[in-house]
Amino acid sequence: MLEGKDTHFAAAAGNGSVMLADAMVAPLRQTTEASWRERLAQLDLVPDLGENIGSVRWFRGLGTLTLLSVAALALLPDFGPIYGPQPSIATEAEFEEARAQMIMPIAYGSDSGKRMAATDAVVALAGSPERPRIELTASLGRGDSFARVLQRAGVGGNEANDVANMVSGVTSLSDIEPGTPINIVLGKRSAQNQPRPLESVAFRARFDLNLAINREGGALRLSREPIMVDDTPLRIRGTVGSQGIYRSARAAGAPASAIQDYLKVISGRMPLSAIRATDEFDIIIAYKRAETGEVKVGTLLYAGVDRDGKSPVQMLKWTNGDNSQWFEASGVGESKGALSRPVNGAVTSGFGGRRHPILGYMRMHSGLDFKASYGQPIFAVTDGVVAYAGRKGGYGNFVQLNHGGGLASGYGHMSRIAARPGSRVRRGQIIGYVGSTGLSTGPHLHYELYRNGRAVNPNSIKFTQRAQLGGSDLARFKGTLQRLKSVKAGAALAPLRTQPKSTDEPKREIDRLTLQIDHSRTNG
């Protein structure tokens, strides 16, 4: 019993010591935990890295930044595609069931969407059926043949040639402009290996003519439909103004191509810089209007400049023989190139050494001799100033022109001088008349060309032939010029008056005469 009690007492004493120890350690443990939390709370893990660089606090902040950056990169999500479940491909039966609910079956005759097998009523065709008619439009290419265009469209060779012959009997095939549309109708052919018969062809043969070829009673017949055309030229006038000729003419309605041609023509007669703002430009262009509404703008016909207080410039395009060139109002043709020809005649003696026909010994011939009749006009080869006009030794009556840039020209053996010293002359202006004064054996022109005071070979400069109209040609030229200048500005833009086509016109000549007599009595 004693032992038991002692043991129980010892156990109780042991438990008491443990509880006492726990009671003694608990405050110490609470104090340690509180100090650790306070220390952790006071620990600055994210200091400002801009302060105290190099201190322990700064390195602690750098470590925190590095740790957070590594954690962010480690947790960075993937930006790759996200694959969903793969769609299943519909079977043929499923597709047909879905097709029955679409608009697609309507295109197949409103079937049910199910594939329908051919029945006994379906009979295979021996061949594809042909259309009874074919309507098409072909275009005539540049340099193409009218018959070849029809053949390429499917017309037989014989019929194509027949149509070409019928058209050529009315108008030249070359008059049909490239790009003209040709409306063709082909009928049904009798056999697969035969060309389709031609039913009709219709096109515009000229600006004033429509042609149609139709099959009537098995034969092709040609019908013409004339188109009324007003060919009044388009005249455009206006003041040059401060903007210049080009802008002023464009503002007045002149086409750009016509203005460019106009400036080229005018610049050949006078410097464009000499045109003042108060001057007036005058442009006349070929112009056609059809009653169907089409308009055809042609080429430049007349170019003029009305200069206040000075002689006007009037240039008319005229066809002289096979050449078409510009002529002045006086009938003198336009000169092109550096220098024009001083007189209309052939060269009889060239530049270089020769035996003088009067003196009889070898002598330098410093110019060209032109064959010309007595009194024939002599023209200035280009614009210049009269430096000398009078008698000059063996040259006889002599005129020298200075053209600037060290270039000058001389004209000898004149019968009469028409230029005064110091006056300014234009290219083509008459400065004298052919004669035989001085050392001369007969009427001719001795022409010299100087460069920096020394005579040079005039053949080094290419001459351009000048044309002088005369007689009936000059009369027709002046008549055309007067007719063009009588056209009022903008008259071609007036409303086109079409003549009404009478449906009850008498077909017999005697009926037409009777109608005319009755009409004259009524008006009388």
DSSP 275-296: --TT-EEEEEEEEEEETTS-EE
Kindly state whether residues 142 and 289 are assigned to the same domain: no
Residue 202: predicted pLDDT: 93
Kindly state whether residues 357 and 304 are assigned to the same domain: no
Kindly state whether residues 159 and 191 are assigned to the same domain: yes
Residue 283: predicted pLDDT: 92
**The two three-digit tokens of residue 275, written as one number:** 């045109």
Residue 390: predicted pLDDT: 93
Residue 191: predicted pLDDT: 79
Residue 94: partners with Cβ closer than 8 Å, 6 or more residues away = none
Strands (E), 68-141: 134-139
Residue 33: predicted pLDDT: 61
Rounded to an integer, what distance in angstroms lies between the CA atom of residue 385 and that of residue 406? 13
Kindly state whether residues 509 and 452 are assigned to the same domain: no
Four-point Cα dihedral 287, 291, 295, 301, nearest 10 = -10
Residue 75: predicted pLDDT: 87
Rounded to an integer, what distance in angstroms lies between the CA atom of residue 469 and that of residue 365? 33
Q: Among the three residues 226, 256, 282, which one is the final residue of a domain in this structure?
A: 226
Name residue 39's amino acid: R
Strands (E), 245-357: 280-290, 295-306, 313-320, 323-328, 339-340, 347-349, 352-355
Kindly state whether residues 456 and 499 are assigned to the same domain: no
Rounded to an integer, what distance in angstroms lies between the CA atom of residue 180 and that of residue 209? 13
In a domain, 41, yes or no: no
Name residue 8's amino acid: H
DSSP H/E element including 212:
strand 209-216
Residue 7: predicted pLDDT: 46
Contact 235, 490 (CB under 8 A): yes
Kindly state whether residues 282 and 373 are assigned to the same domain: no
Residue 25: predicted pLDDT: 52
Kindly state whether residues 442 and 375 are assigned to the same domain: yes
Residue 209: partners with Cβ closer than 8 Å, 6 or more residues away = 170, 171, 224, 225, 226, 227
Residue 423: predicted pLDDT: 92
Indicate which CATH number applies to the domain containing 353: 2.70.70.10
In a domain, 17, yes or no: no
Rounded to an integer, what distance in angstroms lies between the CA atom of residue 47 and that of residue 482? 105
- How far apart, in Å, are the Cα atoms of 2 and each of 11, 12, 16, 217? 14, 15, 21, 159
Contact 269, 292 (CB under 8 A): no
Kindly state whether residues 349 and 375 are assigned to the same domain: yes
Rounded to an integer, what distance in angstroms lies between the CA atom of residue 145 and that of residue 161? 11
Rounded to an integer, what distance in angstroms lies between the CA atom of residue 43 and that of residue 60? 10
3-state SS of 418-475 is CCCCCCEECCCCEEEEEECCCCCCCCEEEEEEEECCEEECHHHCCEECCCECCHHHHH
In a domain, 88, yes or no: no
In a domain, 75, yes or no: no
Interior/surface letters 471-508, b for 16+ CB within 10 angstroms, e for the rest: eeeeeebeeebeebeebeeeebeeeeeeeeeeeeeeee
Residue 109: partners with Cβ closer than 8 Å, 6 or more residues away = none
In a domain, 271, yes or no: yes
DSSP H/E element including 516:
helix 509-523
Q: What pLDDT tens digit does each residue of the chain (524 aa) get?
A: 444 444 444 444 445 555 555 555 555 555 666 677 777 677 777 788 888 888 888 888 888 889 989 998 888 887 777 777 777 788 887 877 777 677 766 676 666 656 666 777 888 877 777 788 889 999 988 888 899 999 988 888 888 899 999 998 888 888 888 889 999 999 888 777 888 889 999 999 888 889 999 988 888 899 999 989 888 899 999 999 888 889 999 998 889 989 999 988 888 778 888 888 899 999 999 998 888 888 888 899 999 999 877 888 888 888 766 567 888 888 877 555 557 788 888 888 877 766 666 555 566 788 889 988 888 899 998 888 999 999 988 899 999 999 877 889 999 999 999 999 999 888 888 999 999 898 888 899 999 988 888 888 887 776 555 667 778 888 888 898 899 888 888 887 777 665 555 444 444 444 444 444 444 444 44
Contact 368, 457 (CB under 8 A): no
Kindly state whether residues 445 and 348 are assigned to the same domain: yes
Domain total in the chain: 3
In a domain, 95, yes or no: no
Q: Among the three residues 424, 444, 464, which one is the final residue of a domain in this structure?
A: 464
Kindly state whether residues 474 and 453 are assigned to the same domain: no
Four-point Cα dihedral 259, 260, 263, 267, nearest 10 = -170
Rounded to an integer, what distance in angstroms lies between the CA atom of residue 423 and that of residue 254? 37
Rounded to an integer, what distance in angstroms lies between the CA atom of residue 315 and that of residue 481? 9
Kindly state whether residues 489 and 511 are assigned to the same domain: yes
Kindly state whether residues 473 and 507 are assigned to the same domain: yes
Q: Among the three residues 200, 226, 252, which one is the final residue of a domain in this structure?
A: 226
In a domain, 294, yes or no: yes
In a domain, 189, yes or no: yes
Query: Whole-model pTM?
Result: 0.48
| Radius of gyration of the chain measured on its C-alpha atoms | 53
Domain that holds residue 301: 229-333+469-519
Indicate which CATH number applies to the domain containing 222: 3.10.450.350
Contact 362, 353 (CB under 8 A): yes
The residues facing 306 across adjacent strands are: 280
